């Protein structure tokens, strides 16, 4: 059998080190083509049309499989963030050094790390409501099923976080899903799906406004 450094599975390029480098390079090339369209069209169409092009041609590449590859090494994730900023600066006719966060906010768009948080939160809502496939639901267990004694975590119906000595495992979907879900209030968790999605998006956009920085809510330094 021929050994390959990466394989394509369900549209994702999975490499032997699970760095997601090849997948991110692949979608970066696709996004760059769409940014080229925006650069040419921006002189002829209004901003709303350019934003629709972004949501139609760029955002789907960002969202597809994001819960899997969204915690790639920061150096790879930054490549995508740079492309997001480049697209917005072009749409707003600004210099390449212009601070881009105001453009994210006025366009109601999220930076990559916040998109990851939103994507995983939406999946965890499905898991909590048993609407995900069993194979995914079985990755998670409630805190009260692990410990019989009552704690603040168990009474809030938090999921159990299983630590690992491997960084790759600790940053996987099954671990970050627990982190993200447990960080949400019960009020938000109990919302119907459509309302839940809106509230998560607005919460993350507010974080962007408050910090004026490309915040990573899963970064232990935050």
Q: In the numeric block, which tokens belong to residue 70? A: 């969204």
Among the listed residues 190, 158, 197, 191, the one whose alpha carbon sits nearest the alpha carbon of residue 177: 158
pLDDT of residue 18: 84
| Same domain, residue pair 140 and 85 | no
Here the tokens at position 66 are 């994001």
pLDDT at residue 222 in the model = 60
Q: Is 64 a domain residue?
A: yes
- Within a domain: 217: no
Domain annotation covers residue 15? yes
78 and 31 within one domain: yes
Does residue 173 register a pLDDT over 90?
Answer: no
- Same domain assignment for residues 18 and 104: yes
What is the spatial distance between Cα 129 and Cα 123, in angstroms, rounded to a whole number? 10
89/179 same-domain check: no
Residues 6+ apart with CB under 8 A from 59: none
Return the higher-pLDDT residue of 199 and 218: 199
In angstroms, rounded to a whole number, what is the distance separating the alpha carbons of residues 181 and 33?
Answer: 35
Task: For residue 209, give the nearest of 106, 134, 112, 135 by alpha carbon.
Answer: 106
Statement to judge: residues 105 and 120 lie in one domain: no
10 and 105 belong to one structural domain: yes
In a domain, 220, yes or no: no
Residue 221 in domain: no
User: Does 121 share its domain with 96?
Assistant: no
Q: Is the pLDDT of residue 152 over 60?
A: no
| Enclosing domain of residue 37 | 6-109
DSSP states of 82-151: HHHHHHHHHHTT--TTS--HHHHHHHT---HHHHHHHHHHHHHHHHHTT-S-HHHHTT--BHHHH-SS--
Structural domain total, the chain? 2
Cβ-proximal residues to 196 (8 Å cutoff; 6+ apart), any chain: 121, 122, 125, 188, 189
Kindly state whether residues 85 and 160 are assigned to the same domain. no
Cβ neighbors of 218 (< 8 A, separation 6 or more) are 71, 113, 116, 117, 171, 176, 179, 180
Q: What is the pLDDT of residues 46-74, one digit of tens each?
A: 999 999 999 999 999 999 999 999 999 99
Q: Is residue 219 part of a domain?
A: no
């Amino acid at each position: 059998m021929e050994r390959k450094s990466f394989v394509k599975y369900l549209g994702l390029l999975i490499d032997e080190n699970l760095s997601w480098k090849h997948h991110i390079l692949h979608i970066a090339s696709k996004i760059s083509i769409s940014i080229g369209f925006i650069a040419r069209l921006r002189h002829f169409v209004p901003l709303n049309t350019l934003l629709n092009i972004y949501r139609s041609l760029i955002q789907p590449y960002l969202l597809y499989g994001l819960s899997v590859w969204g915690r790639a090494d920061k150096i790879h994730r930054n490549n995508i963030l740079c492309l997001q900023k480049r697209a917005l600066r072009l749409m707003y006719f600004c210099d390449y050094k212009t601070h881009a966060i105001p453009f994210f906010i006025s366009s109601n768009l999220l930076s990559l790390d916040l998109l990851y948080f939103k994507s995983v939160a939406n999946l965890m809502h499905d898991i909590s409501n048993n609407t995900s496939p069993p194979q995914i639901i079985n990755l998670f267990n409630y805190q009260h099923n692990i410990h019989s004694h009552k704690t603040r975590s168990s009474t809030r119906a938090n999921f159990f976080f299983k630590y690992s000595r491997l960084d790759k495992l600790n940053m996987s979907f099954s671990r970050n899903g627990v982190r993200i879900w447990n960080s949400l209030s019960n009020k938000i968790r109990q919302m119907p799906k459509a309302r839940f999605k809106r509230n998560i998006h607005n919460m993350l956009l507010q974080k962007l406004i408050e910090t004026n920085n490309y915040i990573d809510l899963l970064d232990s330094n935050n």
